[in-house]
Chains A and B, each alone.
Chain A
């Protein structure tokens, strides 16, 4: 079941969105739990990350969509936000609050269903992937998404994870095979970088969570391509 919130102050559009969702449920064999809010302040009050997808109108009377999204993001970084707007100029700021998508009014079922199925697909991809790595005293379990990058030194692999480094034995090839599905890419011989944590690329460096990692010349192109692929297909 997918939990969806509709935040829309115009009753007509709110009703339309709800009927579109019901239509989608029937056609695509999904089940939705739908909650309706008529203004931004209603959903923000007592928000506990209880939704998977939020359809959010941008222009509302008491609390507009952007402010609402900002407030929601403070509590919940994972929920998928889709903006509903009649002026697409307003949607541009949506990327600042990491909104996945936007739908422009007047809304047609076809356009809406296309964007919705994209969102549902992303949602289903987001499950956790725990990987197991051998450490000196047993094993460690970490979520692949939490790894910033893997560093290889002699025969030691150092997993740079939020806040600490985990040392393990093994070769870069092993790590590469294990993490192949999770959007990792080699920056040079010694680094395997999680593309989700690449903050910027400057000259021959990738900045990963504040750390500058060298991109070797022959790998730079492939790295940029992998990064573009990540931003195109995964996000």
Chain B
């Protein structure tokens, strides 16, 4: 067995480490774009290669600090390349480091097994080929599962877990390399190389599994929060439905009384007064008659809140268009959209300017909903999530808006948010299904 088996060229290690970082960077929100990003990536590669080749022949005592520095360089590369946070970068960096260790030793093991010659070109070619396959698969794993979010928001505990896994994998895989004087060490080169590869594979697998589990846990949590948001709107709907029933009941009561009054002989003036009174009541009854009972209730409920805060809510809504939607979904869309608007209006100092416009109509084969509200100054929702400078448009979702999007998507529609002058506008578009005769 030749002595080469353990001496992975530092160039290869550097490329492995750099490529692992790139897999993560490609899936994250990058700080740079286009040419700038390419320059940045190239710079990272050069630094990594430079550092590892320069320190290739240092004393074994310095080997561990060198490896730690290499890992730190990777973390810096990820941090400065992405728009992320330190914790996220460290978390990703540990992942990348362990995977790179695995990739490099795996490649070298295969190479030493299959090729006994000395041509550096064959070696280089094999390295590129094996790395391409390995990293292609690794990248696919993340992309296929749509795992990497723009922000991971790693907690301290999660970071510690990743650190422990990373350090364990690294220590155990390199134990024999540093010292053969431990019970777990061996002096057989082949054994060392195989153990190193397998332990790193194990480390990578554990980290990936942990990552996957963490991701699904987060997803579940988010769904749970959204569910409560939806449930809340539904509860509010039921409450306002009850109070509307009472109002309607009173309305009929009152109508009876008026009829009774009229039956008596009264002066003409009183008669006209009564007429007017009835007309006024009728106006109130008709306030929120959109043609959809669920929407009526939601609107009535919200207009009570609007009244309390002197917000004028103007709605022009053809409720019949919503008949194909579930009660829950109507509550979610209108409840949340109006809540957001109301929160925003509360902060407008001039009460005359507290305006909300709502329109539900169809044009062509589309159901269109507009929620518009006037605002002044910085725009932030109650939970502080909506920040709308134009560039941040895509990430301005509180759970309210998130649940609207989730709901609208069920019907194959889409949501758009924009700010024009001092108006905030939420647009929802849902394609209406064509009548059967077209099929």
Contacts and interface: CB of A to CB of B under 8 A. Distances in A.
B417 to A, nearest CB: 8
Interface of A: 87-89, 91-92, 94-95, 98, 102, 104, 108, 110-111, 114, 117-118, 121, 198-202, 207, 221, 224-225, 227-229, 231-233
B427 A231 contact: yes
Contacts of B418: 229, 232-233
Given A89-B289, A114-B423, A232-B416, 19 more contacts: A95-B359, A95-B363, A110-B353, A111-B312, A117-B421, A199-B364, A200-B432, A201-B431, A202-B365, A202-B433, A224-B412, A224-B413, A228-B415, A229-B418, A229-B427, A231-B363, A232-B370, A233-B418, A233-B420
Contacts of A92: 316-318, 361
A117 B427 CA distance: 19
A225 B405 CA distance: 11
16 contacts: A88-B316, A95-B316, A95-B318, A102-B314, A110-B352, A114-B355, A114-B421, A200-B364, A200-B366, A202-B431, A202-B433, A228-B427, A231-B366, A231-B368, A231-B427, A233-B416
Nearest to A91: B316
B315 interface: yes
B364 A95 contact: no
A114 B374 contact: yes
A158 B418 CA distance: 33
Contacts of A232: 370, 416, 418, 425-427, 429
A231 B359 CA distance: 12
Contact of B429 (A88, A98, A224): A224
Contacts of A199: 364-365
A224 B427 CA distance: 12
Nearest to B318: A92
A111 B314 CA distance: 11
Given A89-B289, A228-B427, A207 B361 contact: no
Best-buried of A108, A198, A207, A228 by chain B (most CB within 10 Å): A228
A201 B314 CA distance: 29
Interface in B360-398: 361-366, 368, 370, 374
A158 to B, nearest CB: 24
B434 to A, nearest CB: 6
A198 B414 CA distance: 15
A229 B418 CA distance: 8
Contacts of B412: 201, 224
A4 to B, nearest CB: 20
A110 B413 CA distance: 33
A201 to B, nearest CB: 4
A221 B146 CA distance: 16
B286 interface: yes
B291 to A, nearest CB: 9
Interface of B: 286, 289, 312, 314-318, 352-353, 355, 359, 361-366, 368, 370, 374, 412-416, 418, 420-421, 423, 425-429, 431-434
A91 B362 CA distance: 13
A218 B435 CA distance: 27
Contacts of B432: 200
A108 B352 contact: yes
A212 to B, nearest CB: 10
Contacts of B428: 228
Contacts of A114: 355, 374, 421, 423
Contacts of B434: 200, 202
Nearest to A115: B357
Nearest to B317: A92
Contacts of B374: 114
Nearest to B413: A224
Contacts of A221: 414
Contacts of B429: 224, 227-228, 231-232
A88 B317 CA distance: 9
B365 A207 contact: yes
A198 B420 CA distance: 24
Contacts of A207: 365
A67 B412 CA distance: 35
Given A108-B352, A201-B431, A232-B425, A225 B364 contact: no
A94 B316 CA distance: 9
Best-buried of A98, A110, A199, A224 by chain B (most CB within 10 Å): A224
A108 B374 CA distance: 14
Nearest to A203: B412
B361 A95 contact: yes
Contacts of A98: 363
A222 to B, nearest CB: 9
Nearest to B291: A92
A199 B432 CA distance: 10
Nearest to B360: A92
Contacts of B364: 198-200
Contacts of A202: 365, 431, 433-434
